[in-house]
Structure 1
Amino acid sequence: MINRELSSRLAAGRDRRVTQLAEAAARWGGHVPEDPGITELADLLETAAADIPAPPGGPDDPGHPVKALLDTAVESLRAAARLGGLLPAVTLWHLQRAIDQEHTAHQQHTVPAQRQGRAR
């Protein structure tokens, strides 16, 4: 009984996080399918990271925090995809980490844009 309840909670948590990540991918301009898989979401965020303009120091400048955050989110998604349903709690942790990294990247990406808009 306890295992079934725990499994249900983990599955619900996974579904919520996949929905959040689908919304995040859409915010970055991705065309999210109706029922996306974790790998598809990783691909969409990877494309978003690749589309971020190069920093003033050049494309190899390691100091581009938004791209680095999205890259970390993609790594977490790929780890979750590799785990599949084998370790639901660990998969959930990777999904939450991806959400946290994307959220921080989105905040850092939109705040400078808002400042630029006011400076004009």
Structure 2
Amino acid sequence: MIIGDLSARLAAARGRLIIELSRAVTRWGGQVPEDPGVAELADLLDGAAATLHSTTCSDDRNELALAVAHLRAADRLGGLLPAVTLWHLRQALQRSAPLPNPGEPATAPGQPAPQTC
């Protein structure tokens, strides 16, 4: 019974992380399918990272590349090690979600907007 409860909790956590990662991918301009897989999210974030060309975007590009690496690791693990897969998904979310939205100005009205990527 304990293993069943743990499995259900891990599955629920995975589902929540996939939803949050889908939101992060959408913020970066990706068109997320209705029921995305981890590999699809990795491909979409990889595409977003490829569009960041200027040197001012190198930090964002590096963070997205790390997020993609964590998503690819989670995809390779599949369901073999659920707790480790969740760790990779959380790392991917941390790398992609807190980054500023590339379409939103980060300054107050009336101040010059920073150069976008």
Alpha-carbon separation, structure 2, partners of 1:114 and 1:91: 33
Residue 53 of structure 1 and its aligned partner are, at CA, apart by 2.8
CA contact under 8 A between 2:10 and 2:82: conserved in structure 1? yes
Q: Distance in 2 between matches of 1:68 and 1:114?
A: 20
Aligned counterparts of 1:52 and 1:13: Cα–Cα separation in 2:
31
Q: 1:17 to 1:114 in 2, by over 3 A?
A: same
The answer to whether the Cα contact below 8 Å between 2:100 and 2:106 also exists between their aligned partners in 1 is no
Q: Distance in 2 between matches of 1:32 and 1:49?
A: 15
Q: In structure 2, what is the equivalent of residue 70 of structure 1?
A: 64
Post-superposition CA distance 1:63-82 (Å, at most 9, x none): 82111000000000000000
Q: What is the rounded CA distance, in whole Å, between the counterparts of 1:108 and 1:36 in structure 2?
A: 21
For 2:106, which of 104, 108, 114 is the aligned residue?
Answer: 114
Give distance in 2, aligned partners of 1:64 and 1:107. Answer: 13
Does the CA contact (< 8 Å) of 2:49 and 2:64 recur in 1? Answer: yes
Q: Give distance in 2, aligned partners of 1:66 and 1:116.
A: 21
Aligned length: 112
- 1:108 Cα deviation after fit: 8.0
Q: Which structure has greater helix proportion?
A: 1
2:4 corresponds to which residue?
Answer: 4
What whole-Å deviation, never above 9, does each CA across 1:65-114 have from its counterpart, x for those lacking one?
Answer: 1110000000000000000000000000000000001123x238578x42
Q: Which structure 2 segments of 5+ residues have no match?
A: none
Q: Give the whole-Å Cα distance in 1 for the aligned partners of 2:93 and 2:71.
A: 9
How does the TM-score come out when normalised to structure 1?
0.84
TM-score norm. by structure 2 comes to 0.86
SS at match of 2:22: helix
